[in-house]
Amino acid sequence: MSSFRDDGALALDWVASYLERAGELPVLSQVEPGQIRAALPASPPEEPEPFEAVLRDLDDVLLPGVTHWQSPRFFAYFATTGSEPGILAELLIAGLNQVGILWRSSPALQELEELTLDWLRQLVGLPAGFHGHIEDTASTGVLASLAVARMLHPDRRVVVCSEHVHSLADKAARLLELELRKVPVDDQFRLRPELLELNDACAVVATIGTTGAAAIDPVPAIADRCQTTGAWLHVDAAYAGAAAVCPELRHHFAGWDRADSITVNPHKWLGVPMDCSALWTRRPEDFRRAFSLVPEFLQSSDDAVNLSEVSIPLGRRFRALKLWAVLRCYGRAGLQERIREHVRLAALFEEWVRGEPAWEIVAPRHFSLVCFRREGSDAENERLLERVNDSGEVFISHARLGDRYALRLAVGNFRTSEDDVRTAWDVLRREASAL
């Protein structure tokens, strides 16, 4: 066995040089399905191998099968960043290998998780009174929130949302055997509150920053209706929630302080490596009623509510450590600076598109996502997307907005510069003229 310190130095060096050259690699992996698996042995090794062999295969075999989310020219879906403090904290998390099943199994894990979620609550301008914990993903956060809503209203089996809700709501409703009722949107892709029918609804999922167009549902009007009918209000701000760190963007979040539960993903636009999803609720006691189940072998006399009593899993990772590291190493000012820069870059790209004949913007831009298309059929825009992504120079994605196919450029990687956005625009125009 070689030494942990030597291997550790090699691994850190590997990551540092990877981050330096991530921008030079084809952003979207160019392999065929099955290619990576076929290049690896079908059976496990009999004898121990040195860690260096793992690093070698990472370079030679796995790297071609990596789509580079760390690339500054990743503009697909919602772009993310595994920031340097977050990466280092992941090492510490694995080193400590805490298993947060009960407060006593790791007091630091539990208390840091509650503290960092309270810091983040303050950073995004939510009032005191929200209790936060970390889930792996927003999908789990919505599933948990809807499970609480169902428990509170056993005779109401409907969840209401806009037709632009993320598929996580469809999945949660299916798992919980609830009916998902989708409300049409207006011409800006926002839920139309006048069409809400909530008498049989246990919950509404409203989205601030929808996946397709980053549209903003009218949360104040939805909250009024939830208040009258008693329906639970969940606000999904998985992507856009990070923008509330900037006071000038907070008007987009009007009414979210009236939600019963809220999800924001620090692993999307706040520099925390995958995975880390914040879930706040104003009703932690209801979460506890839904999820608390402490078997005999885990009972203790500790005067603390274990986080496992307000969430689905028993054991939890020390995710709070990476969130804490990122919040400390960037500070409010550092996070604001990055989010503002991304919004500026998206506005710039939008300006270029608007200024060029044959191209159009197809949804209002509120944050760092631009939805656009080139004149011509949906099929032609689809072909354009494929050509752009096959070039490996940038990676963008698409959405269907109403009956139209839209291209999406999402700025969200901390390493993205104006030059990278300019490259995306150059590649798009080059490939469009070659079509």
Please give the residue ranges that form the binding site for ligand PLP (CB under 6 A): 77-78, 137-139, 166, 168, 207, 209-211, 236, 238-239, 265, 277
> Closer CB to ligand PLP, residue 174 or residue 354?
174
Nearer to ligand PLP, 102 or 147 (CB): 147
Q: Return the ∠ at Cα 129 (arms to 114 and 157), rounded to 5°.
A: 95
Q: How far is the CB of 102 from ligand PLP (least distance, A)?
A: 26
**CB 165 to ligand PLP: min, Å:** 8
Residue type, 22: A
Place of tokens 């850190």: 12
Token output for 347: 């506005």
- For 346, residues 6+ apart whose C-beta sits below 8 A from its C-beta are 365, 367, 368, 369, 370, 409, 411
Q: How far is the CB of 275 from ligand PLP (least distance, A)?
A: 7
Contact 210, 165 (CB under 8 A): yes
- CB count within 10 Å of CB 17 equals 10
User: Nearest Cα to 72, choosing from 64, 81, 63?
Assistant: 81
In the complex, minimum distance from the CB of residue 265 to ligand PLP, in angstroms, rounded to a whole number? 5
Helix (H) / strand (E) containing 158: strand 158-162
- Of 75 and 352, the one with the shorter C-beta distance to ligand PLP is 75
> Shortest approach of ligand PLP to residue 311 CB, angstroms?
15
Residue with tokens 């977050």: 86
138 or 353: CB nearest ligand PLP: 138
Which residue's CB is nearer to ligand PLP, number 239 or number 253? 239
Pick from 253, 233, 234: which is nearest to 242 by CA?
253
Residue 1 token pair: 């066995």
Cis ω before 60 (30° cut-off from 0): no
What are the start-end ranges of the H helices in 292-377?
319-354
Cβ-based nearer residue to ligand PLP, 105 or 207: 207
CB of residue 272 vs ligand PLP: minimum separation in angstroms?
A: 12
